[in-house]
Structure 1
């Protein structure tokens, strides 16, 4: 009988994903063409089986199967949001986006013929400055909830309603609106962060830090976020994403939701869907590691209290899950990921407090 996915060794997962055609496979057992075909078939069969048990996976399969030119990021976003919060009003959210885009486009002095530089400036101004284009309700970074601990706080529908966003909802809105008003744009991943990138008239790309509505260079992100050269070389961070990969940025919030509200095996299925699409998706590896950690807690630590108390006949099962947990984080490290230090996180939170204090003094 085939082993369930929760007991397959970590290196085997890497091999299965590589055989499935995921990009930039870094490791895994050697396999000839016959073995690769068998592994690929095993992955697809497992995904198909999981999709029957989890309708969200079936929906994601349809979203990710679309050609790049057919992907509507706004519709993809609200579809994923409804998986996290069924109360999300998808048609109303889409109408709000269309209305906001129409108001922004109306400010272009030469309509669609307006230079991109002017379009970009007016787009940012339309989000940041109060005016009839945004109902006199500008958008702001949520200084009271900078970490977005609740997945619902990262939803675009939440941002549109509260006008308080974070480093997920803010760049998503910026990219969605950019594409609606005729500006080529893409999301870009960085460690625990997402920003936007827009195309200038000369064909070059310009980074937009959506949380401040300013421009930031790649070099600044690399230094400020401690991005390793390996992470850039592997394509894990700072690359312009395809629309499929942009959907995976949105799915990261769904993975966070699954970690706290769904069974660990459901999260394993979701991360498998992510990693078969893009093996350089660091979040996919990290959430997969979290899923194995949750399985260890569920099956062993909550029941027996400690590793030493696990019955001898169950030690092998524990060892496999423990190894898988380690292997997933090692896969992320192989892409150049480095765990955030407590010092770096504390520095960031201190900077947030400084901004809040400054705003309190100036009344802004």
Structure 2
């Protein structure tokens, strides 16, 4: 007999589109979602023409309509100008120097940032706060997380002509910078430091299979980089929209990157919610579902199974309690250091 709820850890694979009654219900539910049209237009642009700043602000406004597009974009331009003003004068400035200046402008206390450097928000230990993932808020508070911080770094890098992009790891986003010799350097935007791929693999438990399938650590194209702020929008949809709308949002993400782990996980959770809301709350076991409704249930169940197999095949593994505990301990040490430094 089928279980009602498949574990979220096993709901990540490119599931087939819903069919039959389930597909019709999804279609009718999402047909009036204007965000999907806007996102589709953003994702269809030629990669080199994608403006991450404008796309980011457009997505943030889907989450919080109070976000001021004009002022946020102007502030991004102003920060890029601050960095550029600190470049050495009188000689050609190489990209390594530009990156160094960008890092110091953001993270080192000085008149260039009004003695208010950008830093990680230690009160949001796991970086789960949706507002904390928005650069509009990050610019205002100068407290961010591993989503808002690398996005801002890459946006400013693009404005400065730097070859930078986003990369992902389990529960984490960081920056990839391509040096003039073609080498990729990882910049940890939550601190302004650097880390090797091997360090990320060791610290976050990334499997060899996950590297081989490309779900982690590779430099993203601009179009793929848009899936990072879309991940925040997915989180917002999970908390505020129907599972049918969530599935349609993941359709867009998975059309760009079929192996996008965030999209796959969110999609799996949406299937679980569909089962809960359509069937589990009304019937004690699947065999009690009326015959006329069983095709719809089986559509969702088959998608759950396919998703689970796909995610497992990609090398994804769930975070262990030990790794999370170790991370939270590091946050507590950082808080203690922060308190000691302010005394």
- One fold, TM greater than 0.5? yes
Matched, 1:254 2:229: no
- Please state if 1:200 is matched with 2:200: no
**Contact 1:285 / 1:329 at 8 angstroms: preserved in 2?**
no
Task: Kindly state the Cα deviation for residue 347 of structure 1 after the two structures are TM-superposed.
Answer: 1.6
The 1-side partners of 2:295 and 2:326 are apart by: 42
Q: Which range moved further: 293-302 or 279-288?
A: 293-302
Give 3-state SS (helix, strand or coil) of 2:281's partner. Answer: helix
What are the equivalent positions in structure 2 for 1:44-59 lying under 5 Å apart? 52-59=31-38
Q: Cα gap change, 1:185/1:230 in structure 2, threshold over 3 Å: closer, same or farther?
A: same
Counterparts of 1:12 and 1:163, CA distance in 2: 36
SS in 1 for 2:166: strand
Are positions 1:307 and 2:285 aligned together?
yes
Judging changes above 3 Å, is the alpha-carbon distance between structure 1 residues 51 and 263 closer, same or farther for their aligned structure 2 residues? closer
TM-aligned CA deviation for residue 363 of structure 1: 2.3
> TM-score, normalised on structure 1?
0.83
Which of 318, 327, 331 matches 1:348? Answer: 327
| Mapped partners of 2:149, 2:305: distance in 1 | 33
Q: Is the 8 A contact 1:171 1:196 kept in 2?
A: yes
> Which position in structure 1 is the counterpart of 2:3?
none
Cα offsets for 1:179-232 (capped at 9, x unmatched): 111211010011111000112232321100111110000011111111111111
Query: Could you say which residue in structure 2 is the equivalent of 1:20?
Result: none
Aligned to 1:146: 125
Q: Distance in 1 between matches of 2:88 and 2:109?
A: 19
> In structure 1, what is the equivalent of residue 264 of structure 2?
285
CA distance in 1, matches of 2:339, 2:127: 22
Question: 1:132-143 maps to which residues of 2 (within 5 A)?
Answer: 132-143=111-122
Shift of 1:152: 2.0
Report the alpha carbon displacement of residue 354 of structure 1 after superposing the two structures with TM: 1.4
109, 112, 115: which one pairs with 1:130? 109
- Mapping 1:211-222, distance limit 5 Å: 211-222=190-201
**Greater relative contact order (Cα 8 A, min sep 6): structure 1 or 2?**
2
Unaligned 5+ residue runs, structure 2?
Answer: 1-10
> 1:141/1:133 Cα in 2 relative to 1: closer, same or farther (>3 Å)?
same
Q: Does 1:363 align with 2:342?
A: yes
Give the alignment partner of residue 226 of structure 1, picking from 205, 225, 239. Answer: 205
Distance 1:49 1:207 in 2: 44
Task: Name the SS of the counterpart of 1:108 in structure 2.
Answer: coil
Contact persistence 1:286–1:329 (CA under 8 A): no
Judging changes above 3 Å, is the alpha-carbon distance between structure 1 residues 302 and 79 closer, same or farther for their aligned structure 2 residues?
same
Tell me the CA shift for residue 14 of structure 1.
4.5
Q: Distance in 2 between matches of 1:308 and 1:272?
A: 27
Q: Distance in 1 between matches of 2:342 and 2:12?
A: 55
Q: Which residue matches 2:64?
A: 85
- CA deviation digits over 1:72-98, x for unaligned, max 9? 000010010001111111111111100
1:324 pairs, out of 296, 303, 308, with 303
Unaligned runs of 5+ in 1: 1-9, 18-38
Aligned-pair distance for 1:133?
Answer: 2.2
For residue 175 of structure 2, give the secondary structure of its aligned residue in structure 1.
Answer: strand
Alpha-carbon separation, structure 2, partners of 1:274 and 1:261: 19
Give the CA RMSD over aligned residues: 2.8
Contact 1:112–1:182 at 8 Å: present in 2 too?
no
For 1:86 and 1:121, the matched residues in 2 are separated by: 35
SS of equivalent to 1:113: coil
**Partner Cα separation in structure 2 for residue 163 and residue 173 of structure 1:** 11
**Contact 2:14–2:258 at 8 Å: present in 1 too?**
no
Deviations 1:286-321 (A, max 9, x none): 1100110111121123344x4379445455544443
Aligned residues: 329
2:253 & 2:270 partners in 1: Cα distance? Answer: 14
Contact 1:285 1:328 in 2 (8 A): yes
1:47, 1:200 → 2: CA distance? 46
